[in-house]
Chains A and B, each alone.
Chain A
Amino acid sequence: MFSFCTDPQSLDGLPWLACYLTTGKHMAFYASFGTVLILLAITAPVALAFGFLGATAARARFRPLAWLGKGYIAIVRGVPDIAFFLFFVIALDQAFEWIRHKIKCPDWDQPIRQGNDFVVCPAAKLPLSTSPQIWHEIYGFFLAVLTFAIVYGAFSANVLYGAMRAVPKAQLETAEAYGMTPRQTFWRILVPQMWIYALPGLSNLWMILIKATPLLFLLGVEDIVYWARELGAAKQARFSDYPHGDWRMWYFLALLIFYLAFTKLSEVVLARVTARLSHGQATLGGTGRSAAP
């Protein structure tokens, strides 16, 4: 990157470090922080939408739909989220390929599961084996986002379901007394009022989501954990211009500090948002409740 980096062997001390930290690989490492932020930016609203659907379904008067919603919420109770991550990545991929297989190759007569293999016709492969590398990466990232949204959607469904029940019953009864239909009551009375009850839970969820981002590594995305392991591992002079020992500890220390700073920042911002939104509300928080931890 710098002009004096042309001959790494001659450098030492700070210039060496400056050159080392600006190699192409390191640029990819820094870019992967962007991957994390993009994942958060996409996942948070999608998970919230999933949660909203789940919570609404759990409240439905149509029983099977309510069971579906409650079942979706309940999955977070008993099973580790990591198991869901590992499961959904393969399961979603196979589901997509299976659907495409049914549509694109209707006259394929061999079974899809042959012993220990999952075989679909070449046209149904996702992404197509001929497509460029970037599509493979985008597809992997898309699967990761969807997995995150499904798992954390269940968490936010739990929060929103609780928030919907926290809205005072009298409000809903008044709406009914005014002759509003259930749909109107839901959209005009319940939904606008539930957010303040949901906010502590949702800020908590945001923290959970931040702390779940390193799990991208398990989903096969080249994220910060991947690069920290790669770059930190011992490099020999034969293979690299910048040989060094096992520095993985320091790379992970840097990640640790990154996450601490990120959660601290979120904490401060969320505390402000909570204070702003509670202002003037007829809840205890209106008179100075501390924000969610």
Chain B
Amino acid sequence: MSCWETIADYGLRSIGIGERLLPRSDFTLCQQFTLIGSGLIWNIYFGTFALLFGFFLATALAVGKAAKSPFIRKPSEWFIFVFRGSPLFIQFFFAYFLFLSLKSVSPVFDPFTAAWLGALIVLFLNTAAYSGEIFHGALMSVPKGEVEAADAFGMSGFTKFRRVIWPTMLRLAWPAYTNEAIFLFHATTLVFFSGFPAWQQRGDALYYASYFADKTFNPFVPYPILAGYFILLTLAIIGVFGLVNRRLNRHLPDAQKGRMKFRPNVIR
């Protein structure tokens, strides 16, 4: 069987297209590359959608945490504390069993016990909490002068936020937010190890890598393949976020532009 046939059979295996049975014996390098790469689809799916939805909730949380009224501030603070203060692994387990119990109450909750929705919700809430904290920190360091200038221009309320505060907040938060995005993508590998079942063996990259490691009892092939894929994914994220960073900083002279620095400070 040539490598092209393997790719045709297993390239989309993780989303249920192609060969039904996973390879059982005589594993080739091509099979491992194809299946682990196929699993990466799930990592990208979880990461992208959680980030996309999480971005909006994070902005709301950051503004909420900075609010004067305790009725808005306290819930935001508690939300951020609960999701940042506990391990994502436990959050996954708890959410899965919670959805499982809810399922017996009403069939509405059926899709929530599947990874595609249930795990996505947990990741969404989790990344919103972490990014909310980052955004809040940035919001607090928006220069006073810019806000006063906006006041002087007669801006108020939402216009001031939309046109002055929010862009500056994003600009200041962006390097830290990039790290958050990287670690969110890394955290997506936990999904299928934490209660959520991989239905019909449709799993993510780590799921297939550990499948091969278990079957061949040789961790030295599948895990480096996985590592390679994730390094590429990380570089892609840095590239995309770097473009946004350039756009956010386009009005600044070169010397002041925020440098993108990597700090592993937001892992779960």
B-contact 0/1 string along A193-217, CB 8 Å cutoff: 0000000010010001011111101
Q: Does A177 contact B (CB under 8 A)?
A: no
Decide: A260 and B25 in contact? CB cutoff 8 A.
no
User: Is there a chain B Cβ closer than 8 Å to A83's Cβ?
Assistant: yes
Determine which residue in B90, B187, B189, B227 has the highest number of CB atoms from chain A within 10 A of its CB, and name it: B90
Identify A86's interface contact among B91, B101, B206, CB under 8 A. Answer: B206
B97 near A79 with CB under 8 A, answer: no
Q: Is A231 an interface residue (CB 8 A)?
A: no
The 8 A CB mask of B71-91 against A (1 = contact, 0 = none) is 000000000011011111111
Mask, B179-199, CB within 8 Å of A = 1, is 000100011011001000000
Instruction: Let me know if B219 and A78 touch, CB within 8 A.
Output: no
A113 to B206, CA, bound (A): 23
Candidates B27, B81, B98; contact of A249 at CB < 8 Å: B98
> With the chains together, A113 CA to B220 CA distance in Å?
12
9-residue interface stretch from A8-16, A22-30, A250-258? A250-258
A204-B265, A213-B87 given as contacts; is B25 within 8 A of A116 (CB)? yes
Residue of A nearest to B268 (CB): A211
What chain A residues lie within 8 Å of B216 (beta carbons)? Answer: 116
A155 and B264 contact, CB distance less than 8 A:
yes
A259 in complex: contacting residue of B87, B133, B187, B193, CB < 8 Å: B87
B226 at the interface (CB under 8 A from A): yes
Is the CB of B210 closer than 8 A to any CB of chain A?
Answer: yes
Contacts of B186 in A (CB 8 A): 79-82
**B135 proximal to A (CB < 8 A):** no
Chain B residues with Cβ under 8 A from A78's Cβ?
227, 230-231, 234-235
The answer on a CB contact under 8 Å between B93 and A225 is yes
Q: State A249–B82 Cα separation when bound (angstroms).
A: 16
Instruction: Say which size band chain A's interface belongs to.
Output: 35 or more
Q: Is A91 an interface residue (CB 8 A)?
A: yes
Contacts known (A113-B218, A218-B193); A80 close to B86, Cβ less than 8 A: no
Q: Known contacts A82-B189, A208-B267, A256-B94: does B223 contact A215 (CB below 8 Å)?
A: no
Shortest CB-to-CB span from B261 to chain A, Å, is 9
Residues from chain A with a CB closer than 8 A to the CB of B218 are: 113, 116, 118
Residues of B within 8 A of A285 (CB): none
Q: Which A residue sits closest to B215, measured CB to CB?
A: A116
Residue of A82, A229, A259 near B190 (CB, 8 A) is A82
A225 CB contacts on chain B under 8 angstroms:
89-90, 93
Q: Flag A268-293 by CB within 8 Å of B: 1 or 0 each.
A: 00000000000000000000000001
Known: A78-B231, A225-B93. A249 touches B101 (CB 8 A): yes
A232 within 8 A of B: yes
Q: Inside 8 A of B215's CB, which chain A residues have their CB?
A: 116
| Interface residue B217 (Cβ < 8 Å from any Cβ of A) | yes
Given contacts A249-B100, A264-B85, contact A83 B206 (CB under 8 A): yes
| Interface bits B19-61 vs A (CB < 8 Å: 1, else 0) | 0000001010000000000000000000000000000000000
Most buried by B among A215, A217, A218, A256: A256
CA distance A76 to B234 in the complex (A): 11
Q: Given A77-B262, A82-B206, do A259 and B90 touch, yes or no (CB 8 Å)?
A: yes
Chain B residues, Cβ within 8 Å of A293? 84, 133
**Nearest-neighbor residue (CB-CB) of B179 within chain A:** A77
Is A248 an interface position by the 8 A CB rule? yes
CA of A128 to CA of B235, assembled, Å: 44
Interchain nearest-CB distance for B15 vs A (Å): 21
Q: How far is the CA of A259 from the CA of B186 in the complex (A)?
A: 21
With A82-B190, A113-B218, A211-B87 already in contact, 10 other A-B pairs whose C-beta atoms are closer than 8 Å: A77-B264, A78-B227, A81-B267, A82-B206, A155-B264, A208-B267, A212-B87, A225-B89, A252-B94, A260-B82
List, sorted by A's number, 19 A–B pairs whose CB atoms are closer than 8 Å: A80-B187, A80-B189, A82-B190, A86-B210, A87-B213, A87-B219, A117-B217, A155-B267, A208-B268, A211-B86, A211-B268, A214-B87, A215-B89, A217-B89, A248-B97, A248-B100, A249-B98, A263-B85, A293-B133
Which A residues are within 8 Å of any B CB, using their own CB?
A: 76-83, 86-87, 90-91, 94, 113, 116-118, 155, 158, 201, 204, 208, 210-215, 217-218, 225, 228-229, 232, 246, 248-249, 252-253, 255-256, 259-260, 263-264, 293
The 4 closest A-B pairs by CB, nearest first: A78-B231, A80-B186, A249-B97, A252-B94
